[in-house]
Structure 1
């Protein structure tokens, strides 16, 4: 049986060199993640970027990145 979890992120400047990603938490339901957004969206910093929250659904105990990676030259 697959168990789902919900990651809540706040992502500013997505897909730019200045991208700022914060992992807010991991929740047992989409509804719990939405409640966290409601509690945070009026806090300092978040209040200026209320539309930058993202919830992603993930399967518990399943690898999410399995292809390895390469280093890019700077």
Structure 2
């Protein structure tokens, strides 16, 4: 089983925080690499103002990672 780590940055936007602004930073082969990228990006303009808004998700490669439907809001 091979694993990939996706680094994302997300924060709420709008006067009433109406929606999320999400950026996929990258996909990495190890958790250590993903954490290193987060440490580096926390110093960049814009990202440093939302330094606690990074997320690292683990995904199995060549596997269905979302197996359910969805409900339209």
Corresponding residue for residue 37 of structure 1 = 38
The secondary structure found in structure 2 opposite 1:65 is coil
Q: Distance in 2 between matches of 1:8 and 1:38?
A: 11
The gaps in structure 2 that reach 5 residues or longer are none
Greater strand share, structure number? 2
Corresponding residue for residue 19 of structure 1 = 20
Deviation at 1:11, TM superposition (A): 1.0
Q: Distance in 2 between matches of 1:63 and 1:34?
A: 24
The secondary structure found in structure 1 opposite 2:64 is coil
C-alpha RMSD of the superposition: 1.4
Query: TM-score, with normalisation over the residues of structure 2?
Result: 0.82
The secondary structure found in structure 1 opposite 2:56 is strand
Deviation at 1:29, TM superposition (A): 0.6
1:6-46 residue CA offsets vs partner (Å, 9 max, x unmatched): 01000112xx6321111100000110001101111111110
